[in-house]
Structure 1
Amino acid sequence: MPANDGGTAQDGDEALRLLSLVERTLTARLEEALRGRGSSLDQWRILRLLAARGGCPMNVVAEHVLLLAPKLSKLVDRMVSANLVLRRRDVSDRRRVLIVVSARGRRALADWDEATADVRAQFRELLGADADQFEGLLRRLQDGLDPASVEQASLT
């Protein structure tokens, strides 16, 4: 049996605990900032995705915001009713429906980005020059834990 090298397994557990704690803290702060502007974290993430990529099919949106299809459908229905997003037929595949951000959605996104700016700035400020490296490490972790996500991302 190998000698204990100072608790490496416990250190790994602590890293996982800290990662969860940071995610919860940042999520809570973002949700609080968005709630004050009448949004949810999921709505903000959907609009950011659509603004960055243009129209996306529901499965891509679901994967991005980490929601199951039924919950996402209800949320998108509410966003359509609020004129934040629109459903459009895909010109390259008429059977497929894309979700696109509306003009009102772009204005809402600008407002919600402003509401979350302090949280995002604090995150980058705390990490400083390590912010890009940290994002790279998180991507490497995600890719290693779910290799299918790399294949899926390259298809979209």
Structure 2
Amino acid sequence: MREFSRSLPMSLLRAREAVMRQFRPSLRNHGLTEQQWRILRALTAVDAIEVTELARVAFLLGPSLSRILRDLEARHLIERRAAKADLRRGMVSISAKGLKLIEAVAPTSESIYAAITKLYGARKLSELQDMLSALEDSLSGLEVAGAGDAEADE
């Protein structure tokens, strides 16, 4: 087995933590968690989206998403309604208040991206994003080894 610190999942987790450490203070200043921000950002890319699809694109489990959506709806940052084609399915969209919050967070977020780009390099950052996308694409067709095993994290 490879050295723990050199395992791909740990390398990715460390890199994610290093990046998110830069963004968390700004999110906290705006009363947002990382997961809430992910949902709001995902909603800016669509007019409306089914709850199950939102869970998929935001990488959140259904029960967590339900709790987060309740909070965002109580704060009037999102709007929920039933799908026209199937009233059992929920649709979510960002509200005007949610868009204003995005606009308030955006300048700080962009300055953080600029600082990361300056430190790491625009070309390297672009290559990293391309490589991560390629890794995701190449693994999407791979059968998951031990998918039935509870311990198959790595």
TM-score, normalization: structure 1? 0.76
Q: Counterpart in 1 of 2:136?
A: 142
Whole-angstrom distance in 2 between the partners of 1:56 and 1:71: 17
Counterpart residue type for residue 96 of structure 1 = R
Corresponding residue SS for 1:66: coil
Distance of 1:119 and 1:56 partners within structure 2: 28
1:42 corresponds in structure 2 to 35
Matched, 1:97 2:56: no
Paired residue for 2:117, among 118, 121, 124?
124
The aligned runs of 1:29-108 (5 Å cut-off) are: 29-108=22-101
Structure 1 counterpart SS, 2:80: strand
Q: Secondary structure at the match of 1:34?
A: helix
3-state SS of 2:24 partner: helix
Q: Which has the higher helix share?
A: 1
Question: Distance in 2 between the 1:80 and 1:92 partners?
Answer: 22
Pairwise CA distance, 1:59: 1.7
CA shift, 1:26, in A, is 1.0
The C-alpha deviation readout for 1:68-89, integer Å capped at 9, x for no partner, is 1111101100100100000123
Structure 2: segments with no counterpart, 5+ residues: 143-154
Distance 1:106 1:131, change over 3 A: same
- Displacement, 1:20? 2.6
Structure 1 regions of 5+ residues with no counterpart?
1-8, 149-156
Sequence identity of aligned pairs in percent?
A: 23
**In the aligned structure 2, how far is the partner of 1:14 from the partner of 1:72?**
29
- Superimposed CA distance per residue, residues 96-138 of structure 1 (whole angstroms, 9 cap, x where no aligned partner): 3211000000001111222322222222332312332221110
Give structure 1 regions of 4+ aligned residues with deviation exceeding 6 angstroms.
Answer: none
